Chain A
């Protein structure tokens, strides 16, 4: 098990390196720091201001190799960025000089406060609905259910958010339509609507996916055997199908767990929740490139972490995988 884990970890190093290089190319090569400086300081800024701004962030160093006399060879933008990524020293914000790592840390808790409940409610609801659909499979209700879930899935999240906020503000006046605070129960009131909308917007695709996984499982031979020897329909579904289907579900669900930290771009910015999604939105509006760069890197780290978790769960659930 341990060797398997180490082997998986090692295989991720080149991918992480690739991500770093892509991020670097995008933010340093395609879009040069000088252009960023002009974008942020405005076209009227004089050459001196731009130069101090660049020097303050280390953007004035040579791009790949430092060939200036008397300076270390690797003291260049490329290697400094790599070093920063590895040591989580993500530099300071291009917009307001605040350390990026601090801004990100501050956003994690509010993000988790909406994504975690949304995930728990959404996952259980999808599981229940998909199992029910499998239970009544091929009936008229099942077909209508599928049609409704496809329709739910075809509504873009911004439409959910806009209409959801309007309906809540006009018909159910007790939900605050905007804002956030950290005061016990009233926080929950602020969170209820965003969570509800996140659950609803994800429901369609999740139920469809889970249903497909369970339907595949129910066609397996061992299910026919179980039914033939007289196991009740409910037991087949809740014990055999659910247990085996859950292994397939692991890939989807566990891989998405680390992303809960990232929050939700649209929902957070729309409801004014100061999470990571909102931070990203502000970064776009203020052209804060260092913050976007850091977010891209952390996003892929979380993705790889999710991949790791999936592998671990798989290996724990299925002994054959460990031997490969």
Chain B
């Protein structure tokens, strides 16, 4: 484990780099035009705001004040821990025979251990952010570069890359994930690795197709005639021209990753025990529905957060696609 301050600096640096990249990208013509189109789409803006909010909450839980306490925990420090279940906004614990008065009010009630459900649900953002972010960090560069290599160099390189992804793709996604997690072992980083191994394929195919189209354009030929190196053509000419596909794929891919995490939790190969993930929350809360009287707020809070995040990402992805390609 690296020291706390280093972890915090790394997370903050990641956030700063992301914002800087977005601002940098907005300078080019194509992105500015897409941004103007996106601004006219109210649904897209709302979704972008929701996604940003979730990511910020996740980031606030990544920044730790001490080993036990994160910035998010600090914000919830005045919320007391109760003795057991309590319904949303109730004044007493959820007990038919012997209800005890609560120490405070809880917007979404409390769970079996008396912890505030809203707090626990918001903590789920961190797992989503780490899984989605770490996986994207691995699969986006790999998928994009291999896709461009395949489309640009063609021939043997193309054959090799195509063979690699067709082979991996022919193993059904969820089975490959289970096999990887069973053999590599559970844990957030292994999960990100396993998810990247399955996620880069779609991106690579997409980028390869687009690169094949782009390389027939005169500007690539012109660059080559002027004597630019392959590396320069790839990074300066081809990459900027497929970057918007990367952006759209990253947003839609993120929603897929969060969704898959929930399914993997259910299958028993999800995030390790003790990680506050929405999937794990849903799985552990499902027996609470068969209780009498029924405890529903735990399940509804986790499912609601998961649904809202995925929906916002999906709609944002659609809005981005429309902004970059208004004809489709």
Contact = CB atoms under 8 A, between A and B. Distances in A.
Contacts of B166: 15
B90 interface: no
B176 A150 contact: no
The 4 closest A-B pairs by CB, nearest first: A18-B167, A31-B183, A154-B311, A299-B172
Interface of B: 163, 166-172, 174-176, 178-180, 182-184, 255, 259, 262-263, 266-269, 279, 282-283, 286, 289-290, 299, 303, 306-307, 310-311, 314-315, 318
A159 B307 contact: yes
Interface of A: 14-16, 18-19, 22-23, 26-27, 30-31, 150-151, 153-159, 162-163, 166, 259, 262, 265-266, 280-281, 284-285, 287, 289, 292-293, 295-296, 299-300, 302-304, 307
Contacts of A19: 167, 170-171
B307 A150 contact: no
Contacts of B314: 150, 153-154
A300 B267 contact: no
Contact of A265 (B184, B267, B311): B267
A159 B282 contact: yes
22 contacts: A15-B170, A22-B168, A31-B183, A150-B311, A155-B307, A156-B262, A156-B279, A156-B307, A158-B262, A158-B263, A158-B266, A159-B282, A166-B290, A280-B175, A281-B268, A284-B182, A289-B183, A292-B175, A292-B179, A292-B182, A296-B179, A303-B170
A159 B315 contact: no
A180 to B, nearest CB: 19
Contacts of B307: 154-156, 159
B172 A26 contact: no
Contacts of B168: 22
A292 B311 contact: no
A30 B169 CA distance: 20
A26 B183 contact: yes
Given A153-B314, A154-B311, A162-B299, A22 B178 contact: no
A303 B174 CA distance: 13
A31 to B, nearest CB: 4
Contacts of B310: 154-156
Contacts of A156: 259, 262-263, 279, 282, 303, 306-307, 310
Nearest to A11: B166
A302 B303 CA distance: 33
Contacts of A31: 182-184
Nearest to B283: A158
Contacts of A307: 170
A150 B289 contact: no
Given A159-B282, A162-B286, A22 B267 contact: no
A26 B269 contact: no
B122 to A, nearest CB: 19
B175 A299 contact: yes
Contacts of A285: 268
A259 B174 CA distance: 12
Contact of B183 (A14, A18, A27, A300): A27
Contacts of B170: 15-16, 19, 300, 303-304, 307
A268 to B, nearest CB: 12
A293 B290 CA distance: 35
A288 B307 CA distance: 33
A280 B178 contact: yes
A292 B175 CA distance: 8
Contacts of B178: 280, 284, 292
B172 A15 contact: no
B311 A22 contact: no
A16 B176 CA distance: 15
B44 to A, nearest CB: 13
B198 to A, nearest CB: 12
Contacts of B286: 162
A193 B303 CA distance: 21
